[in-house]
Amino acid sequence: MKGLLIYLACFISVFAFAQKPDNDMAQGNEAYGKKEYRDAEADYRISESKSPAKADATYNLGNAVYNQKYNGEAIVIYAKAIKNVRTKEQKHKAFHNMGNAYMRGKNYEYAVEAYKNALRNNPNDEETRYNYALAKKMLKDNPPPQPKPEDRKDPPKKDKEDNKSNAAKNRGDSGEKADGGGSKDTPDKGGGGAGAQQSKGGADNQGDPKPADEDPNKQRMESILDAMNNEERKVQEKVNGVRVKTQPKRNEKDW
């Protein structure tokens, strides 16, 4: 596992370029280089919102989210980036990092598939080969739980016949009540009113739903929105000025 952690640390990197100047991307790269991942996430989200099909913004966003340990969300973002990438090397990196997120979540079965897809796009990458072998070993040592035999069996034939008999009986009872209530072409207004009244009464008994006092996801989204608003204010304040942006230091495997 120590070797895996080393690979996860050195491989996670950003795409340090875009097809045209993108101040939000540059700011995100700068924040990412300083390990200010929440601020980087906000910048990448702004960049992605302007060009949703731009794979580099989406991939960088996945890395920023991954480094905040939101593994499930990072996986979804990597999957979106994979749909928009243009080269096999970019696809390799996205699949590799997706595998890292699955590994950290101990979902070894999906990690194996992610690394396998990464190797299909770059079979010579030693880090991916190592992680793929490790994921297979972890899957072998920790196989996913199998459904119990009784869960897979169909219900006995007698139970099926009883269910069919009860269903037919219920349909017959329902038909008799409908015929006795009035004409088939005329809906029973009295029954509808009673049903509405009963529904209303049930709603009164339930009471108002309790608000969620502590919702981590809500707090996270509020935090992200605050960061995004701060970045937009910076842009507005400096819209008439000139900012000289420096690219973050390129890691070994940057796009």
- Report whether pLDDT(6) > 60: no
For residues 5-15, average pLDDT: 55
Per-residue pLDDT of 101-142, as tens digits, reads 999 999 999 999 999 999 999 999 999 999 999 999 999 999
Which tokens in the block code for residue 46? 């702004």
- Report whether pLDDT(78) > 70: yes
Radius of gyration of the chain (CA): 28
- Report whether pLDDT(9) > 50: no
Amino acid 86: pLDDT: 87
Closest CA to 4 of 76, 81, 108, 88: 108
**Domain edges within the chain:** 2-11+25-141
Q: Which fold would CATH assign to domain 2-11+25-141?
A: 1.25.40
Per-residue pLDDT of 84-107, as tens digits, reads 998 999 999 999 999 999 999 999
Dist CA 191 CA 180 (whole Å): 13
Per-residue pLDDT of 185-196, as tens digits, reads 333 343 443 333
Query: Tell me, what DSSP letter sits at residue 120?
Result: H
| Burial classification of residue 105, based on how many CB atoms lie within 10 Å of its CB (0-12 exposed, 13-18 middle, 19 or more buried) | middle
Average pLDDT score over the chain: 73
pTM equals 0.59
